[in-house]
Structure formats: C-alpha cells, structure tokens
C-alpha cells in the first residue's frame, strides 16, 4: 500500500441522521483510518448536526462539516464544496447511508494509482434487514446477510480484487458504469476537469458525467471488486423528475467529448 499521499473521506448526507450515525461508527472501526473526514451536507436539519457533534471527538482525525441551505437535490454542488475543502491528495467518496467493511479504506488506498480513478460496488440491504440494523445499531456484517441482495459483493479476496481491477465493467455498455456512492479520485484530476457539473440537479447521472469527463481527459477507470465493500441501507428512491434532463446533459458530454465543465468547483477555489 502506498502511504506517500494523504487522503480525505467525503461522506455526503441529507436528513438521515440515523444512517449517518451508523456510517460514522463503521468508519471508527476501519483498520486504516482516513487522514480526515468531510461531511458534505446537502441542507440537512439540526438532527444531522447533532450526530456529527456527538461523534466528532471520538475520532483521532479531524471531522469537518460542510453545509449549505436546502435548495433541493444539489449533490454535485455540495460535493464540489467538500472537494475544495479537502486537504488530502486523494479523495474517497461515499454516501452517508452506507456501512463500511473494516477494510474499506485500506482496500481503496491499495488501489490508488496515478492517472486512474476508482469505482466500486455495494451490497444492497432489503427493507427488513435495514430496519433491524437501524434498531440495533448493528455495524458488524457477515458476508451472507439475511435480507440482502447481490450478497456476493460482500466477498473479499485480494487475488480477485487485483484481477478484476482493470477488467471488470470496462467496455461496451459498461464503459461508463460507476457508483457515485463508492468512488475515489486524485484531487488534482478533479480540479483539472472542474469537479462535478452543477448543472446536474435532482437525482441522477452527475457521477456518470464526472467519470466520462475524467476518461475524456485520459484518466482511466479502475473497478474495486471483492474489496472496498459497503452495505447500502434501504430507503425509498429519490424523485426522478430531473432524470431525463440529466441524461441529456450526460449524452452531450459523451457526444462532444467534454472535459471541463463551466459550472464546477472553481467557484469555491
């Protein structure tokens, strides 16, 4: 594992403090801690701030809270603000409704490679399992969880992790496949493409767009499979009322080989 760089863990959240608490508890169990944590808060109410304050002093590292007013789904904007605030050379990005395997940070750092960004997968927890986990504040997960989908994503194997890293979901319709809830980038690469495109509002495709622009800039994708494991708590889907517009924006990025977005993180530098 390369220890010659610093890293920042960015956790995006919105008005689900119970899930964020479990996420933070799972960060505390990491075998390798990030160098700092930044909560990218898309306008949550006071309860989220209270959870962050409750755990802030339990961490041996700095925990920052970046917040802006609730003006609808503005994930691209709050992530840009968090990226600018990050002191690490390397950004590991997750959502606050995830429980992390204890080796999550370690696995991601072992995959860090110049001129590459990383995307991963997740274990989807069903509603029944999520209710039990939230009620019991359970963060210790086995590889086979009753009430989980795609449980094979919970298997961890160094040999398979290395084998899949530059082979899995790399071509055809999967070329642009990413999961924004489990990604990692070099900060300088994000600055070069101006981060997330804030024209993407509402749910969907802001993560695909940033991956496409990175690839347009010559940054290659890696996939972390059989490692970097996260468990996604069940919740109702966000409104898809902006999805068609966001798909058009993403298709324009592909068609015109866009690298740099105009409405990006440079607003906050």
Domain-located, residue 2 = no
| Residue 262 forms part of a structural domain | yes
| pTM given for the model | 0.95
Burial 202-213 (b: 16+ CB within 10 A, else e): bbbbbbbbbbbb
Residue 97 within any structural domain of the chain? yes
pLDDT digits 0-9 by tens, 85-97: 999 999 999 999 9
Residue 266: is it exposed, middle or buried by C-beta count within 10 angstroms (0-12/13-18/19+)?
A: middle
pLDDT at 149 over 80: no
For 151-161, letters b (16+ CB in 10 Å) and e give bebbebeeeeb
DSSP three-state, residue 166: coil
> Is 204 part of a structural domain of the chain?
yes
Greater confidence, 182 or 129? Answer: 182
The percent of residues in the chain predicted with pLDDT above 90, rounded, is 86
Which tens digits make up the pLDDT trace of 152-199?
888 899 999 999 999 999 999 899 999 999 999 999 999 999 999 999
pLDDT at residue 2 greater than cutoff 50: no
CATH (domain of 95): 3.90.550.10
pLDDT of residue 3: 58
Residue 149 near residue 123, CB atoms below 8 Å: yes
For position 1, what pLDDT does the model report?
44
Taking the C-alpha atoms of residue 254 and residue 197, their distance in angstroms, rounded to an integer, is 14
Q: What is the reported pLDDT for 147?
A: 64
Domain membership flag for residue 1? no
The whole-number average pLDDT for the span 213-217 is 98
Taking only the tens place, the pLDDT of each residue in 54-72 is 999 999 999 999 999 999 9
Segment 90-115 shows an average pLDDT of 97
Tell me, yes or no, whether 251 lies in a domain: yes
Residue 254 structural domain = 7-268
pLDDT at 151: 79
The stretch 5-28 carries a mean pLDDT of 98
Query: Quick check: is 140 in a domain?
Result: yes
Number of domains in the chain: 1
Residue 147, token pair as written in the block: 């009430």
What would the DSSP string read from start to end of 168-184? Answer: TT-SGGGTT---TTEEE
Domain assignment present for residue 83? The answer is yes
The stretch 134-138 carries a mean pLDDT of: 93
Half-sphere exposure of 2 (CA within 13 A, CB side): 13
In percent, how much of the chain has pLDDT > 70? 97
DSSP letter for 43, please. Answer: S
């Amino acid at each position: 594992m390369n220890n010659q760089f610093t890293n920042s863990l960015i956790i995006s959240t919105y008005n689900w403090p119970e899930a964020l608490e479990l996420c933070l508890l799972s960060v505390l169990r990491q075998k390798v801690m990030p160098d700092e944590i930044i909560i990218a808060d898309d306008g949550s109410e006071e309860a989220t701030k209270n959870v962050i304050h409750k755990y802030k002093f339990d961490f041996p590292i700095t925990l920052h809270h970046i917040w802006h007013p609730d003006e609808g789904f503005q994930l691209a904007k709050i992530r840009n603000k968090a990226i600018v605030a990050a002191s690490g050379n390397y950004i590991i990005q997750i959502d606050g409704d995830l429980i992390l395997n204890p080796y999550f940070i370690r696995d991601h750092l072992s995959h860090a490679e110049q001129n590459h960004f990383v995307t991963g997968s997740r274990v989807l927890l069903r509603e029944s399992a999520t209710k039990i986990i939230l009620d019991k504040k359970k963060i210790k997960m086995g590889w086979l969880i009753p009430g989980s989908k795609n449980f094979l994503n919970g298997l961890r194997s160094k040999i398979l992790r290395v084998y899949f890293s530059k082979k899995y979901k790399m071509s055809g319709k999967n070329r642009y496949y990413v999961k924004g809830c489990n990604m990692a980038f070099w900060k300088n690469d994000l600055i070069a493409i101006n981060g997330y495109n804030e024209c993407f509002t509402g749910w969907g495709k802001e993560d695909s767009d940033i991956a496409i622009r990175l690839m347009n800039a010559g940054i290659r994708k890696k996939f972390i499979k059989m490692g970097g494991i996260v468990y996604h708590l069940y919740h109702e889907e966000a409104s898809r009322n902006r999805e068609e517009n966001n798909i058009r924006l993403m298709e324009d990025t592909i068609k015109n080989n866009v690298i740099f977005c105009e409405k990006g993180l440079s607003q906050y530098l």
